Structure 1
Amino acid sequence: MTVLGAAGWAAWWVYHPLTLRAPSLDLSIEPGTLPRAVAVAVRDAGVDVNPDLLHAWFRLSGQDKAIRAGSYELTTGITPHRLLAKLARGDESLRAVTLVEGWNIRQVRAALARADSLKPTTANLTDEALMTQLGRAGVHPEGRFFPDTYTYSKGSSDLAVYRRALRAMDKRLAAAWAQRSAACAAKTADEALIVASIVEKETGRAEDRALISAVFNNRLRMGMPLQTDPTVIYGLGPAFDGNLRKTDLLRDTPWNTYTRSGLPPTPISMPGKASLLAAVRPAAGNVLYFVSRGDGSSHFSATLGEHNKAVNRFQRGQ
């Protein structure tokens, strides 16, 4: 083959689709992998290509040192040119998992355990062992992870997602605490996190969030029991069947705010940004009670008499 012929063939090959053994292949490049080893990894992933030829293309392009580690998806129609561009851009095949506002730690762990292509390295760890792995030995995991959507490369460890969610909550909580008003009854950021977790579970309509926070902050300041059903439900744990009974309200647990005064010992859910801010910046006013109107919104009252009338109206239809 003449030099011109070889050059022409090479130009054709660079832009010609490679043959894949399946419509979609996964390619994993570990940090520190040399370009020649990357070419071999492409072949081993199921691409019908000569690694020496592919490596020669990497070098001739001048981008062989730009190849990034990561998890990539190769699909039918990819050419050597597009392959190198993908590897140099770090155009990884990403997956995502969403942690929902108001979830508890059991729901968080279940979501991460079933997340697509996420390595379940913490599956057999207790909650206590998980927090130790995250460098927070002795800290209860409830409420410590910020609800958000987290993307990750295929094959990533679930511990990495936990760590990101933990740091995100640290950041959000610190930012909220720095904005606390004089009406905030929490003495520490951790107490504010507990209040926020209750506000998250009690809020049916976003517009009511600050008023719901005001009820709990006012009660804490006055020494009144919080008497909030979500804390009772949390204390019942997996045994809760969806029907809260009067006997449940009387069953004492550390989280029962009918039988115990003050805040429960831990958060009861993952609060979002809005609940964190509401917890430390409650609405002004002397409201102490609220009742659902049945449409997602709540009616707020400053006295027990007013509250009882609201209960009769909205709950009993009287």
Structure 2
Amino acid sequence: MLSFLFRKETVILLITGGIAFAASNTGNNVQWLVFSLLCAYIILGKGASYLNNRKIEIELLELPDIFAGKKSFIPLKITKNNAYRSSYHLHISLQFSPSVKSGEVFLLKLGKSENKTLFMEAEFPHRGEYKLVGASVLSSFPFDVFKSKRKISMQKKIIVYPEIMDVDSNARLYFANNYELSVSKRGEGNEILSLYQYGGNEPLRNIHWKLSAKKDELWVKEYANEESPKVIIFLDWKRIPPDKREEAISVACSLALKYTNSAIMWRLVSGYFDSDFGSNSVHLRKCLTYLALLNDYRQSEGLPMPEITLKTHYSHLLYLSHFMN
């Protein structure tokens, strides 16, 4: 209540009312003149403030990847659809559902038929789907006393990906050694996979001369293939405790980002969701969107681990399970 009484607009109106009361009782022409000037000031301020934030459109541009718990910048296009009048001193804010902590953008001037691209800071506390329900344009031009607020409906859907975690320094908390498998295959790399007796068709450069001299027969070196590694990220909802589910989702999201940035082929398995191997941005966003919207954990469903391991070749299996306790 007190804050309302001490607002600039309220003070001006109270002063104007007081002068009008005094002028009506005394008939003083000077008081009537002051009252008239104050009325003109109020009408001009209110009218100019109202017109100042008309004909303004706000458009949401293509969003960057947004992660929970991390400051993001929402790109906006602000357009003045008036060829004869500019706008000044605009305060622009956004409204989300559920509510989100966001900043405010101040525009000193938006010229005639001008458009500007601005970035609004926002921080989304949790993963999931949010809605940008609207924007507000507040104007106090020209006297910074009388404010006019205009709401613009937007209705845009925003997907917020899970929180990113430091999986490198905390790897041992999530992956037990017996769940991190390495598989080498025959190929033309530099690492020796095995040794076997010469069969007659092997290249001479692969003969292990030292061992052959020792055994008095030819032995050949078989090399491991230097193909890019493939990783399976397996979320086993049967064994992940309920209080660790959000952490498991964040770990899976962080691993997906890490492997995509490293150009490593990876695949996500969670319940009946089973992606193909991939390492591009389309594959990443598909899996991150699934993780962002995941609510049905299908604890008793999904592919068992033996079926996953037999389904395709891989070099590492990252098994998120009960050892997250």
- Assess same fold via TM > 0.5: no
Task: Tell me which structure has the larger Cα radius of gyration.
Answer: 2
TM-score, length-scaled by structure 1: 0.24
TM-score, length-scaled by structure 2: 0.24
